[in-house]
A = this chain, B = another copy of it.
């Protein structure tokens, strides 16, 4: 048995490039709006080599979002969960708050980087409340609900995403910053 095969047989429980896209939208969950944001995010992740396990559509409801996040992290053990929608300041925008509830560790720099990039384009970016956190070995990233905003934010973190997922899953290689 080659060393390569041995590596494969000890494959991690959390394959590095599996992903789920959760769209958080009352109107989407009621079937009143097409899920363009979820689609463009999923397409972009696939183009980057991520294996999209499934997509979820939930209303702007704290327990529903929490349940979806926990299912992905605890049961399905996907490497990356990207949410789109519910990051604003409207009364029912609670995606970041649900994410804060389930995250074991926060990654504030990813959220800061996304906002700083968006802020260079529009002052409205400062009311995007998205957070990034880790639950078990799953990275959870909140993106805004508009297709253009979601894609723009995703592009900001893509250069660091693959390395982040490897580290979260315990890649022991030393990183020189």
- A175: which B residues are within 8 A, CB to CB? 88, 124, 146
Most buried by B among A96, A129, A159: A129
Judge if A29 is at the interface, Cβ distance under 8 Å: no
Chain A 133-174 interface 0/1 with B at a Cβ cutoff of 8 Å (1 = within): 010010100001110110010000101100110011011000
Contact residues of A: prevailing secondary structure: helix
Interface size on A, residues (CB 8 A): 50
Task: State the oligomeric state as a number of copies.
Answer: 3
Shortest CB–CB separation between residue A151 and chain B, in angstroms? 10
Judge if A68 is at the interface, Cβ distance under 8 Å: no
Closest to A137 in B: B91
